[in-house]
Amino acid sequence: MPAVDAAGEFETIQKLLRPLAHPDYARGLADDVAVLPSRPGFDLVLTKDAIVEGVHFLPDDPLDTVAQKLLRANLSDLASKGAEPFGYLLACHWSPRCGWPEREAFAEGLATDQAAFGVQLLGGDTVLTPGPASFSATLLGWLPKGEAVSRGGARPGDAVYVTGTIGDGWLGLQAAQGRLSLEPERVEALAERYRRPVPRVVFGRAVRGLVTAMMDVSDGLVGDLGHVARASGAAITLDLELTPRSAAAQAWLESRTDPEAALERLVTGGDDYELVLTVSPRDEAAVKREADRLHLRLTRIGEVQAGAGVSARYLGQALTLSRTGWTHD
């Protein structure tokens, strides 16, 4: 016998989700489909991510931040292609903890990020589950035809750069779980970074024609560099000491007795949602100018060489990493 939706499926759609719907293409969320017109000269880019309570977010995380993390993880994928975000399809699997106030918070989180990133809801589905709660979104974006950036364009001689800071996502999970001994403001900043990462959508579009390869850092910097190296048929060397760190991450690092092992945790932890990119020497200055224009931190962390795989150095010495990053296996 199907579960009864105490909060009301149709009330949820009409009162919370319909105000988020695209005014032209979502058909008022009163139909089974959205209808999109073609856009001559452009490719439609699609990506999909799901987040599950207890795996990607904590059971006591506020649902507005859960909604925002869902959208931002997908937006980060669009950013890595250099795409312009357009809209999304949403699936909500509400658990018993998702009453009306929690659903309102979820919709408020979506509304905030729709305004921030220029996307609108196109449709989807809501169902009940005994738990855990889970949500998925399919994001759609536009790209000038044939201009999608791939993982596979890195070439020997290219420089490797990363935006923002690395390690805050993994540290933020420890902070949200109450497992960090740092000043309260730093713990709060790290937990916020875990719950609400910042996708680099504008920068991704700005450097679309300047980079040779690009992807977002979701499963750990080392693991994601491995994807680039594999797709490109090249080797990548990472200089661990150059990896950019926030003030909070630096404070944590300075409290560790083994800096090499601590750095390894930061570059393999995941959930950073920064962009890692490879750039030919002739375009480095232009890429740096775009980062400066957007007031975005951009750090050179390594180089592409002939060969295969990812290797790491620490202060010039080769280092064997014990892990590469997060997997769902």
Q: Which residues are annotated as a binding site?
A: 32, 47, 49, 56, 77, 124-125, 151, 216, 218-219, 271, 326
- What residue numbers does the annotated binding site for Mg(2+) cover? 32, 47, 49, 77, 125, 216, 219
Sole residue written with tokens 């536009």: 142
Nearest-CA neighbor of 58 among 208, 229, 214, 175?
175
- What is the number of other CB atoms lying within 10 angstroms of the CB of residue 327? 10
Tokens for 191? 């937990």
What Rg do the C-alpha atoms of the chain give, in angstroms?
21
Beta-sheet strands, E only, within 145-240? 159-163, 213-217, 235-239
Strands 235-239 and 134-144: unpaired
Beta-sheet strands, E only, within the chain? 42-52, 84-94, 120-128, 134-144, 159-163, 213-217, 235-239, 274-279, 298-305, 309-314, 317-319
- What residue numbers does the annotated binding site for substrate cover? 56, 271, 326
- What residue numbers does the annotated binding site for ATP cover? 124-125, 151, 218
Are 131 and 94 a contacting pair, CB within 8 Å?
no
62: preceding bond cis by omega (within 30 degrees): no
Separation in Å, CA 240 to CA 153, 264, 302, 305: 23, 8, 9, 17
DSSP 4: P
- What is the number of other CB atoms lying within 10 angstroms of the CB of residue 319? 15
Tokens for 88? 């999304």
Tokens for 318? 């080769």
Nearest-CA neighbor of 210 among 257, 275, 262, 256?
275
Strands 84-94 and 134-144: antiparallel
